[in-house]
């Protein structure tokens, strides 16, 4: 096998093109086999095999720096840079990261996993290289989906202005998570498919190539003439308008062609975009035929069929599906309800509403800041917008939430999917900071459902509230309430309080309510009276909190969130202000960038299992006797 002979990029440079084609096939088989065991981002990596091979053959890595935007497309890069044998631990606790990791390899420049950032990283790197006179090149690999994010254009503006010697590889597969949307996508689609453009490009290139002979003193001028003639007969690209050299589109699965174009781009003195067309899920039939997202992100699966190995537990339903159903129910009843997401329509459960009301669901691309201010505009016009995004991605839009929504007291509902510890995607994807951010926003209501009925009630309440309202829920299965009653309005700030005068009072948030109940059962077995309150509102806190604390010997808070400025901190601060002296024991995540691993393993690492918490509570109660 060719793959067995490759342990570093230098091993690639002596291979023939037939050997490279065989290597590409072996890498795809390897990816399917390994990702089938652990889960991960399969489709994006199957699509960049030839591109990654060409990059490591043309550029002298790690001396030359490759920056991967949305680093989930870096699996092939990891295989080629000495980490092939670690793939059985991919995304597992203590194992190989699913994203670039500086701790793993000198080939990984940064731990990049949020989209639209690579061009800014690369611009800074390129300028630093130029100022320090380092003899190295910088390459940014950017997906077409990432170019829907405004930050990419801010970087392009500076790259063009400073004429930075930077190679930008536009990996265009027509998709982000879902199909790429917006005006840029239409522009790229024209470059991909317009027969007049492609024929004119071929004709101009053919004529000028015949004019240019090896060693011809006019060769450098030929390229300038070629560019001028192309402008007369072909559309001007957005990159041309900015003054950035553009070449393409080229077949991203033709390694010889990709390599040839990259070698030319490497010699250009200034920024150049190489537009590469790839196919997400390339070479694996189940991924190619999956119209939803080409097996973008998967759990463990059968490598023959591409189907999940472990089906969802009988009768369980995810929080996302509960929200999806509840939102559609609200949209049917209220025509002013609209929904917005950032390239995650299917992931956050908006597909059913989009199918029923296609003119009321808006996918704005990977542009969370725009999504929020767009929602503010919709609210100003009398609509009731719901912005649904993963909790971690809302971090990117805090200024807009603060100044564009909250300052104007607008009725925008923020739905924070995948809040709390999310598992194997690692530090960039855990939703463990949102309470700290959102709690600083004046007038913001923050709620966390503990079961399916709670989520339906909270969404119904949010859409009737005259101001900003955030609802956070976890990844995975929701606790069923067992009923199917119509949703009802909940009094803002009111908890479901269970009292146990003189005993331990546990205040739990969202998915931790069930964990708290299991903890209380262990305490009762140890002879300690305990009650569990469902603190569904994190902000505002229940007005009865001071009196509740006075009635109990110990107050315990449990949250799936960092302890810094989280729910427990808010409770402790409130009691301090009210001069209540009841001890508060807080359980949550220590302030950190939490590593990747299963939710169970990470909760155990942070002392959030019922057995661990009960042991600490017993020790504290006994010490107070």
Domains annotated for the chain, with CATH where assigned, are 3-194+235-285 (3.40.50.970), 317-478 (3.40.50.970), 504-624 (3.40.50.920)
Which of 83, 280, 384, 517 is catalytic? The answer is 280
Q: Is 33 a catalytic residue?
A: no
The SS3 assignment for 359 reads helix
Residue 13 burial (C-beta neighbours within 10 Å; 0-12, 13-18, 19+) = exposed
pLDDT digits (tens, 9 = 90+) for 461-497: 999 999 999 999 999 999 998 777 899 999 999 999 9
* Res 70: pLDDT: 81
User: HEC states along 293-350?
Assistant: CCCCCECCECCCCCCECCCCCCCCEEHHHHHHHHHHHHHHHCCCEEEEECCCCCCCCC
Q: Is 396 a catalytic residue?
A: yes
Place of tokens 């003054």: 243
Mean pLDDT of all residues belonging to the chain: 89
Q: Is 619 a catalytic residue?
A: no
Residues 603, 430 contacting (CB under 8 angstroms): no
DSSP one-letter code for 229: H
- The low-confidence residues of the chain, meaning pLDDT below 70, are 175-235, 310-315
Residues 388, 340 contacting (CB under 8 angstroms): yes
Which of 50, 259, 330, 368 is catalytic? The answer is 368
* Res 233: pLDDT: 47
Say how far apart CA 592 and CA 432 lie, in whole Å.
10
Which of 396, 472, 475, 539 is catalytic? The answer is 396
Q: Is the pTM of this model over 0.85?
A: yes
Place of tokens 């059962």: 521
Best CA proximity match to 470, nearest among 496, 494, 437: 437
Say how far apart CA 336 and CA 327 lie, in whole Å.
12
CA angle 506, 509, 515 (to 5 degrees): 65
Residue 625 burial (C-beta neighbours within 10 Å; 0-12, 13-18, 19+) = exposed
Place of tokens 């150049």: 272
Cis peptide before 347 (omega within 30 of 0): no
Say how far apart CA 28 and CA 281 lie, in whole Å.
9
* Res 537: pLDDT: 98
* Res 414: pLDDT: 98
């Amino acid at each position: 096998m060719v793959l067995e002979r490759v342990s570093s990029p230098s091993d690639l440079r002596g291979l023939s093109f037939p050997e490279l084609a065989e290597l590409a096939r072996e890498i795809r088989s390897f990816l399917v086999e390994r990702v089938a065991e652990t889960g991960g981002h399969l489709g994006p990596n199957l699509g960049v095999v030839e591109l990654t091979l060409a990059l490591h053959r043309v550029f002298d890595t790690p001396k030359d720096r490759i920056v991967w935007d949305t680093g989930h497309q870096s699996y092939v890069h990891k295989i080629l840079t000495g980490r092939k044998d670690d793939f059985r631990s991919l995304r597992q606790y203590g194992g190989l990261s699913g994203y670039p990791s500086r701790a793993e390899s000198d080939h990984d420049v940064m731990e990049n996993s949020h989209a639209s950032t690579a061009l800014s990283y690369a611009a800074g790197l390129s300028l630093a290289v130029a100022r320090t006179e380092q003899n190295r090149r910088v390459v940014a690999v950017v997906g077409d989906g990432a170019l829907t994010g405004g930050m990419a254009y801010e970087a392009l503006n500076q790259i063009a202005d400073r004429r930075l010697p930077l190679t930008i590889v536009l990996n265009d597969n027509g998709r982000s998570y879902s199909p790429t949307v917006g005006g840029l996508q239409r522009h790229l689609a024209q470059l991909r498919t317009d027969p007049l453009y492609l024929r004119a490009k071929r004709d101009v290139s053919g004529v000028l190539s015949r004019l240019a002979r090896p060693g011809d003193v006019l060769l450098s001028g030929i390229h300038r003439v070629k560019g001028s003639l192309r402008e007369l007969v072909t559309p001007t690209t957005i990159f041309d308008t900015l003054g950035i050299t553009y070449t393409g589109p080229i077949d991203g699965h033709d390694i010889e062609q990709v390599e040839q174009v990259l070698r030319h781009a490497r010699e250009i003195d200034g920024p150049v975009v190489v537009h590469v067309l790839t196919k997400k899920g390339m070479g694996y039939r189940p991924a190619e035929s999956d119209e939803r997202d080409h097996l973008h992100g998967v759990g463990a699966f059968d490598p023959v069929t591409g189907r999940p190995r472990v089906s969802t537990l009988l009768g369980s339903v995810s929080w996302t599906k509960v929200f999806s159903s509840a939102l559609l129910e609200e949209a049917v009843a209220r025509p002013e309800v609209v929904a917005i997401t950032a390239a995650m329509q299917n992931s956050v459960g908006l597909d059913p509403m989009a199918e029923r009301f296609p003119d009321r669901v808006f996918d704005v691309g990977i542009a969370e800041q725009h999504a929020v201010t767009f929602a503010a505009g919709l609210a100003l016009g009398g609509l009731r917008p719901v912005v649904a995004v993963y909790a971690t991605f809302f971090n990117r839009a805090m200024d807009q939430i603060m100044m564009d929504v909250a300052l104007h007291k607008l009725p925008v509902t923020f739905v924070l999917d995948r809040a709390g510890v999310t598992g194997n995607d690692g530090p960039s994807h855990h939703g463990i900071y949102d309470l700290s951010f959102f709690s600083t926003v004046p007038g913001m209501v923050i709620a966390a459902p503990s079961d399916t009925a709670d989520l339906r009630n909270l969404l119904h309440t949010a859409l009737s509230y005259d101001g900003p309202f955030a609802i956070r829920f976890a990844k995975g299965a929701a606790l069923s309430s067992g009923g199917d009653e119509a949703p009802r309005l909940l009094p803002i700030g009111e908890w479901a309080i269970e009292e146990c005068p003189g005993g331990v009072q546990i205040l739990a948030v969202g998915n931790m309510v069930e964990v708290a109940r299991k903890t209380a059962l262990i305490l009762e077995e140890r002879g300690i009276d305990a009650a569990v309150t469902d603190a569904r509102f994190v902000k505002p806190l229940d007005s009865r909190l001071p009196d509740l604390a006075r009635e109990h010997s110990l107050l315990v808070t449990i949250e799936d969130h960092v302890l810094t400025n989280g729910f427990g901190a808010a409770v402790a601060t409130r009691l301090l202000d009210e001069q209540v002296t009841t001890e508060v024991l807080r359980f949550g995540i220590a302030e950190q960038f939490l590593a990747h691993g299963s939710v169970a393993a990470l909760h155990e690492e942070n002392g959030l299992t019922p057995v661990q918490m009960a042991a600490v509570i017993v020790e504290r109660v006994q010490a107070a006797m």
